[in-house]
Amino acid sequence: MPEIYLDNCSTTKPYPDVAKKIVKMLTEVYGNPSSLHRLGKESKMEIEIARRIIAKSLGAETNEIYFTSGGTESANLAIKGACLANSKRGNRIVTTAAEHPAVTKTIRDLKKQGWEATYISAPHGELDLDEMEHAIDDKTVLVSAMLVNNETGCIFPVNKVKEIIKRKQSPALLHCDAVQAYGKLNFTAASIGADLISVSAHKIHGPKGAGSLYVKKGTNMFTSILGGGQERGLRSGTENTPAIAGFGEAVRITFSNSEKDILHMEKLRDYCIDAIREQIPSAVINSNNFGAPHIVNFSLPGFTNKKVVEFLDHRDIFISSAAACKSNHSRGPSALESLGLSRELAESALRVSFSHHNTKGEIDMLIEALVDYYRQEKG
């Protein structure tokens, strides 16, 4: 039986051309990009090619793109970099209750240093904009709001958050975790109004270990990684040239095919939701047809999600019970509970996430396996 991979929110299979690019960088263009000789210059050129590709995808200028090790580092750098550099403006951070741990834990660390944080609720995936308006004031230094929630695929109106910041005449910078939105939604830095945007390579068929941070020109930033001054002094350390070049190649391919691939994933999402409702009536759908095109989250009340994942794994069907980056460690309410789910629904929640590789036939096999599990457990 062929493998059915439906866990693309956790990571994606790299494009063949990405793998080829990485091998070439490791074996042929292996110079240190800071070196002045030919191999160094060739390596530096590949970095700048990738930077131009990523900048174009975000509607940004090349000098607004900084390379990091991934979405987590980009979020850390954005939040701490903005807050520490602009602390004279105030000591308040506003974020949402449903953010990724890369955001929530970074803010938690700043709270230990005396910063205040307000968490805006998002019941059933609807960000409370009235609550957001009340929270943002002239002492708010940063607002951090994700574009697509990694658990349910709900979309937050980040552009409206920017409107609130302007209306309140707040000095706050706006950071957006766009890791799950990048390559899945059509947006630019200008369209969402963000001053800082985090994205990651391995969510769009690129390599793990590469990401980037968009920093709007003129934004005052502080760096916690000191060294040789790479990335224009914001993020020191010898660049991971193979991963960066692979990232650029992944972005090039993804955005060349994004229109048809997004439509394909939307059709899979809708087909999957309809199939679950029809064949597993007791299931509770936690996503909707208006969310991100690649995510379906549903609960099977009375069943432990990890056992379902293990059952499917034995059939070579791979889905997720929670965000893979935090599935082994939990503290406080889960992201799903923060979005309004009961503890029972959260503990039985399953996430299916698509790429352009997936087919309706694979969804049929998933549903068939879930029905078999349901019958087996119910006796």
Question: Which candidate in 83, 154, 272, 325 is catalytic?
Answer: 325
Chain-centroid distance of CA 42 in Å reads 31
CA diameter of the chain = 70
121's tokens: 């609720």
Helix, strand, or coil here: 295? Answer: strand
What single-letter DSSP state applies at residue 142?
Answer: E
Kind and range of the H or E run holding 245 = helix 241-256
* Angle 124-130-132 from CA coordinates, rounded to 5°: 85
Contact 114, 138 (CB under 8 A): no
Active site annotation includes 325: yes
Residue 52 CB contacts under 8 Å (≥ 6 apart), including other chains: 62
Strands (DSSP E) found in the chain: 4-5, 65-68, 92-96, 116-120, 140-144, 173-177, 196-200, 211-215, 284-285, 295-299, 317-318, 349-353
Q: Which residues are catalytic?
A: 325
